[in-house]
């Protein structure tokens, strides 16, 4: 295997990366053609309903055509995220826990190469507990090296995950709708009239402090009363809400003895890192893209070894 392609096909975004056999990035294609948008296109196209897999593969083919590198036909593509969901290419069942991150391989499905996509495509499924599900984050967890004996991995996002690791085994996880709720409250609710995007560390810390106690449903309305009664700026209120939600998500970790690992990218790394630092927790930070690529490489090697 000279090259492989790592594809993260999430709800709202698509990323395709070409890497060499060691995991070194060579080229990347990104778009907003997430699974949700592609699924909507498929539903609205009666002709496409005859072959869902080929319809989705047409989007993958368009991304491949944007690449500058000439790939060998046997270069495999591995896809994680929402591609294996009911909205995706093909729905795969969730795998059970516990799951040994260093030795086990998640459930997967092979789409053979064809004229449309001349590469074997491996779609990876996610995991479930009795009360929760994940698709995509498992790949990043597999991609983390040197896991501690007892740690909690935090993966911020639209639906943030807290994954509990014991001796390299994923034993449990909890989902928090932090990102989605922030989007709704800051863009759609009546509170949005009191907010404006921008940076304000003091307001963010005020939100974190507010989240430590009290009732979240009441605390939400303080975004508006800060504006009406104290004339705080829209930027201040925006960051206050951010701190309030992130602080609420993290507050149950305040007295944990576990090591905390933050797997993140972009602004979320700074926000969550700041919040965890104020809680005096032992935090290790990992790049989410790097963890994803490494996870894809490990899974792919496991699949190819089992098939040999």
Place of tokens 């090591």: 259
Interaxial angle between packed helices 216-230 and 234-250, expressed in degrees from 0 to 180 and rounded to the nearest 10: 160
Pair 42, 55: CB distance under 8 Å? yes
Long-range contacts formed by 34-42: CB under 8 A, 24+ apart: 34/9, 34/10, 34/82, 35/9, 35/10, 35/11, 35/81, 35/82, 35/83, 35/85, 35/87, 35/88, 36/11, 36/12, 36/82, 36/87, 37/12, 39/87, 39/88
What pLDDT is recorded for position 119? 96
Query: Do 46 and 123 reside in the same domain of the chain?
Result: yes
Domain boundary among 106, 135, 164: 135
Q: How confident is the model at residue 50 (pLDDT cuts 50, 70, 90)?
A: confident
Q: Would you state the pLDDT for residue 48? A: 66
* Structure confidence by residue, pLDDT tens digits, 169-190: 999 999 999 999 999 999 999 9
- Is residue 103 assigned to a domain? yes
How far apart, in whole angstroms, are the C-alpha atoms of residue 195 and residue 239?
Answer: 9
The reply to whether 193 and 280 lie within a common domain is yes
Could you list the residue range(s) of the whole structural domain that residue 43 is in?
A: 3-135
57-71, 84-98, 294-308: the lowest-pLDDT one: 294-308
> How sure is the predictor about 15, in pLDDT bands with cuts at 50, 70 and 90?
very high
Domain co-membership, 184 together with 92: no
What percentage of the chain carries pLDDT values higher than 70? 99
**14 and 124 co-located in one domain:** yes
CA angle 147, 148, 152 (to 5 degrees): 90
* Dihedral pair phi/psi, residue 64, rounded to 5°: -60, -35
> Which pLDDT belongs to residue 287?
97
Looking at every residue in the chain, the average pLDDT score rounds to 95
107-129 pLDDT, tens per residue? 999 999 999 999 999 999 999 99
pLDDT band for position 205 (50/70/90)?
A: very high
Same domain, 15 and 93: yes
Answer whether residue 226 is part of any domain. Answer: yes
- Over the stretch 161-173, which tens digit does the pLDDT of each residue have? 999 999 999 999 9
For residue 220, the domain's CATH number is: 3.30.420.310
State residue 286's pLDDT score: 97
Residue 21: count other Cβ atoms within 10 Å of its Cβ.
12
Does residue 67 lie within any of the structural domains? yes
| 15, 127: one domain | yes
Q: Does residue 263 sit within a domain?
A: yes
pLDDT at residue number 45: 85
Q: Quickly state the pLDDT bin for 147 (edges 50, 70, 90).
A: confident
Task: State residue 46's pLDDT score.
Answer: 72
* pLDDT for position 308: 62
| 164: in domain | no
193 and 126 in a common domain: no
Both 117 and 232 in one domain: the answer is no
Instruction: Point out the domain boundary residue: 135, 166, 193.
Output: 135
Q: Is the pLDDT of residue 60 over 80?
A: yes
pLDDT number for residue 81:
95
Domain membership flag for residue 295? no
How many CB atoms lie under 10 A from the CB of residue 7? 23
Asked if residue 113 and residue 209 are part of one domain, the reply reads: no
31, 114: one domain: yes
Identify whether 16 is part of a domain: yes
Q: Over range 81-105, report the average pLDDT.
A: 96
- Shared-domain flag, residues 125 and 183: no
Tell me whether residue 261 is in a domain.
yes
Domain shared by 37 and 129, yes or no: yes
Q: What are the strands, taking DSSP E only, across 53-209? A: 77-81, 99-100, 108-111, 121-124, 127-128, 133-134, 150-155, 160-166, 169-176
CATH number at residue 96: 3.30.420.300
Count of structural domains, the chain = 2
């Amino acid at each position: 295997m000279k090259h492989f392609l790592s594809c993260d096909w999430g709800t709202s975004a698509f990323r395709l990366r070409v890497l060499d056999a060691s995991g070194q990035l060579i080229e990347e294609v990104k778009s907003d053609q997430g699974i949700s948008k592609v699924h909507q296109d498929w539903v609205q196209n009666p002709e496409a309903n005859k072959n869902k897999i080929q319809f989705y593969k047409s989007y993958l083919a368009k991304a491949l055509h944007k690449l500058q590198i000439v790939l060998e036909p046997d270069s495999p593509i591995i896809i994680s995220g929402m591609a294996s969901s009911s909205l995706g290419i093909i729905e795969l069942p969730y795998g059970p826990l516990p799951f040994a991150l260093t030795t086990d391989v998640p459930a997967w499905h092979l789409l053979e190469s064809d004229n449309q996509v001349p590469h074997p495509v491996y779609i990876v499924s996610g995991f479930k507990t009795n009360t929760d599900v994940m698709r995509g984050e498992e790949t990043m967890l597999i991609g983390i090296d040197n896991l501690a004996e007892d740690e909690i991995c935090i993966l911020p996002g639209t639906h943030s995950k807290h994954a509990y690791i014991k001796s390299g085994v994923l034993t449990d996880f909890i989902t928090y709708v932090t990102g989605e709720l922030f989007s709704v409250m800051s863009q759609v609710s009546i509170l949005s009239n009191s907010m404006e995007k921008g940076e304000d560390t003091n307001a963010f810390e005020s939100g974190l402090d507010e989240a430590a106690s009290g009732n979240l449903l009441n605390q939400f309305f303080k975004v508006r009363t800060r504006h009406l009664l104290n004339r705080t700026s829209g930027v201040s209120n925006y960051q206050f809400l951010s701190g309030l939600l992130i602080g609420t998500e993290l507050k149950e970790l305040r007295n944990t003895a576990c090591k905390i690992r933050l797997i993140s990218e972009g602004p979320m790394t700074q926000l969550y890192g700041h919040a965890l630092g104020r809680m005096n927790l032992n935090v290790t930070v990992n790049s989410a893209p790097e963890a994803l690529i490494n996870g894809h490489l490990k899974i792919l090697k496991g699949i190819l070894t089992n098939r040999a």
